[in-house]
A and B are shown apart, each in its own frame.
Chain A
Amino acid sequence: MKIHYGTALAAVALVAVHILFRMTQKFGDSLQYQNVIANYHFLPYALMLEVVLILLSVHGFNGLRVILLELKQGVAYERAINYGSIAAMVALVAYGSRTILMAGMGMS
Chain B
Amino acid sequence: MEVVAVPKASEETISAPTPETKPTTITLRISRFNPSNDATPTFAEFKIPVQKWTTVLEAILYVKQNLDHSIAVRYSCRQASCGSCGMKINGKPSLACYTKISELGSNMVTVEPMNNFPIIRDLAVDFKQLFSDHKKMKPFIIRDDSEVTPESKEFIQTPEDLEKFLQFSYCIKCGLCNSACPTMATDESFIGPQGLAQAYRYVADNRDQGKKDRLKIVDQAHGIWRCHFAGSCSHVCPKGVDPAMAIQLLRGYLMGFRK
Which A residues fall within an 8 A CB radius of B? 1-2, 5, 66, 69-71, 73, 78
Contacts and interface: CB of A to CB of B under 8 A. Distances in A.
B186 A1 contact: no
Nearest to B188: A73
B9 interface: no
Contacts of A71: 186
Taking chain A's interface residues, is the majority helix, strand, or loop, or is none over half, making it mixed?
helix
Interface string B178-206: 00000100111100000000000000000
A2 B255 contact: yes
B221 A78 contact: yes
Nearest to A74: B189
B136 to A, nearest CB: 17
Contacts of B131: none
B222 interface: yes
B225 interface: yes
Interface residues of B, number: 11
A91 to B, nearest CB: 23
User: Which label, helix, strand, loop or mixed, suits the secondary structure of the B interface?
Assistant: loop
B226 interface: yes
Nearest to B183: A70
Contact of A1 (B187, B189, B225): B225
A6 B219 CA distance: 16
A5 B187 CA distance: 21
A92 to B, nearest CB: 23
A73 B222 CA distance: 10
Interface of B: 183, 186-189, 219, 221-222, 225-226, 255
Contacts of A1: 219, 225
A73 B255 contact: no
A100 to B, nearest CB: 32
A71 B225 CA distance: 15
A2 B222 CA distance: 15
Given A2-B255, A78-B221, A70 B188 contact: no
The list of the 4 closest CB pairs from A to B, nearest first, reads: A1-B225, A70-B187, A73-B189, A70-B186
A69 B221 contact: yes
Contacts of B189: 73
A5 B225 CA distance: 11
Contacts of B187: 69-70, 73
Given A1-B225, A73-B187, A73-B189, 16 more contacts: A1-B219, A2-B255, A5-B255, A66-B225, A66-B226, A69-B187, A69-B221, A69-B222, A70-B183, A70-B186, A70-B187, A70-B226, A71-B186, A73-B188, A73-B222, A78-B221
A29 B13 CA distance: 88
Nearest to B225: A1
Nearest to B187: A70
A66 B226 CA distance: 8
B178 to A, nearest CB: 16
19 contacts: A1-B219, A1-B225, A2-B255, A5-B255, A66-B225, A66-B226, A69-B187, A69-B221, A69-B222, A70-B183, A70-B186, A70-B187, A70-B226, A71-B186, A73-B187, A73-B188, A73-B189, A73-B222, A78-B221
